[in-house]
Structure 1
Amino acid sequence: MPLTISEIAELVDGELTGNSDELIRSVSSPQNAGPHDLIFISDESGFSFAEDSAAGCVIAPMAFASSIEKPLIRVLDPKKAFAIAGSHLHPRKDRPAEIHPSAVIAKGARIGDNVFIGAFCCVGEGSEVGDGTHLRAGVKIGNGVKIGPNCTLHQNVTVEDGVLIGSGVILKSGAVIGSKGFGFVRDGQSLIKFPQIGTVVIEDDVEIGANSCVDRGALGETRIGEGTKIDNLVQIAHNVKIGKRVVIAALVGVSGSVEIGDDCVVGGQTGFADHTKIEDGVVIGAKSAVFPGKHVRSGVWAGIPVLPISEYKRLNAHIRALPRLREEVRELGEVLRRLESLVQKGSGEE
């Protein structure tokens, strides 16, 4: 949705200098921007990029002292302001209310107002789809599912029976919500499936990336907290509890009954073993491993097994020093052999 520069300045609570009436249609990088694009720079080092760019407007930090010959909006946090402006310039694509002829809607399903249901979608018996929600092509909704208002389920998303989804939730293509968890009991030479009859609760404003899976609880629930953002190809196992505003990068695996507190950040390819507990605000670096039953307290952690970042860096420094230490040991060995040779010669002369 196009906005004037003055409207953007007001939206991000910024200080505007320059022409305020020009229309901005999109966000862009400085290198690719055109006269109707908005860009941002984080500090003075970006001045040359802003000056050389063809962008129609620049968002810059409040302390930005340089002057450029294009409209400038100074703000406290340029990246945040750019994101806010971007969300208004590029809102969710509005689709008219429609149920495609190829969609299969159970008689007992309840469809809200202004709902878009694309080709080959299925909505099961007793399920509810909230007002303004979009089900893109190929979405499969099981029985007894409740989906709140203004959600977007992209192509080929599957939501199994009994799942509860809040408002404003985004599920990217191929995500599977509510599949049976991975739990077995050994019986001699065979494995017996442990009951997986719980549910999944996804709170408001959650986003789950493409081809990610959230398994239903075994006997209770798996819960994803409000405002949490999960990247592509993430596995969330049964009975996991993830707090509010958590950010989880791609290829993370979260085993059963893990608890992750509010406002945590998890780097890509991190693995959580079962029954671990992560306190609020923890940051875990990429490719880390949290071993079974570990209680990770507040702070920044990394490594295999996961350690406080200061300890992890110290151990890494020791590891990097091993080649030098090996060479020193080799040299000491040479010195020792020479000393032994001298001692043997002295003994022989006596």
Structure 2
Amino acid sequence: MDSQGFAVGIADVEAAATRLEGQLVRTRLIESEALNARYDARILFKPECLQRTGSFKFRGAYNRISQFTPQERERGIVAFSSGNHAQGVASSARLFGIKAVIIMPSDAPQTKIANTRSYGAEVVLFDRYSESREAVAVPYIEERGMVLVPPYDDPSIMAGQGTIGLELIAEARERGLTLDDVFVPSGGGGLISGISVAVKAGSPQTRIWGVEPENFDDLRRSLIAGERVSNESGHRSICDAILTPQPGVLTFPINKHNLAGGIAVSDNAVRAAMRDAANYLKLIVEPGGCVALAALATGEVDIRGKTVAVVLSGGNVDLDIYGGLIAAA
């Protein structure tokens, strides 16, 4: 906890960076002259789709699991995830020789389910539209005594994801640049809360924007309301990685304090952004990982003449589905 009473402070993020040293892929910022010209801005992309396990989630999972006591390692891990946190936890658990059970929605991309199993984890499937993932996890926690590693509402998870913010500020400085705006995908808020702590510590004037799919914009609406609100049920989106019911208990106070606002994007805008990422950056980015790029096209934030960073948070998508989404764009 930091001096303001938030769950995570800059010292926590810096400690996470030390633990992660030597474990991460260094995802250097990249840019496209064509996209810079389209938006009349300097746009720096953070390609976490190239990170270990194909998304940013390895950072938080490794940071949390690396701090397990010997007794916790013996008990094993349970986690729930649509796929990216699953892979981050499974991969980190294997590195430490810890048993992992991952609870995943049955409609998660097959590549995410297969990859999670490939890291040695046991996968338990559930129906995200009729079952509670927390309820499915209860027997593993209460009866088997396994340690829950949550996807976002955990200080160590948030601090691990925040190392992206440290890297953003450090590399911008290397290039002699100051970031005006940072656009970040948001589900439960673990990624953006951690990034915001690091960015605000190093560049207080930088504005940070959370980006979500339409009808799943609980963070955007919560920021407007000043309190946590939930999404209405019955909606669907291609952005499986960031479909959460409401902001986290620990993440929201940080985001309320640090964020400039939220932006909601349509699935069509996400498809177009995925196509742009392929065309101009030569990157495969999954739908949820591409919402921050999609936000630029909304025009809700005027970035003309500014230097901005866009986090591409993951690239784990079934290739046959990816091809259809790109074609539909």
Do the two structures share a fold, i.e. TM-score over 0.5? no
Provide the TM-score with structure 1 as the length reference.
0.21
Structure with max Cα Rg: 1
Higher relative contact order (CA 8 A, sep 6+): 2
Q: Which has the higher strand share?
A: 1
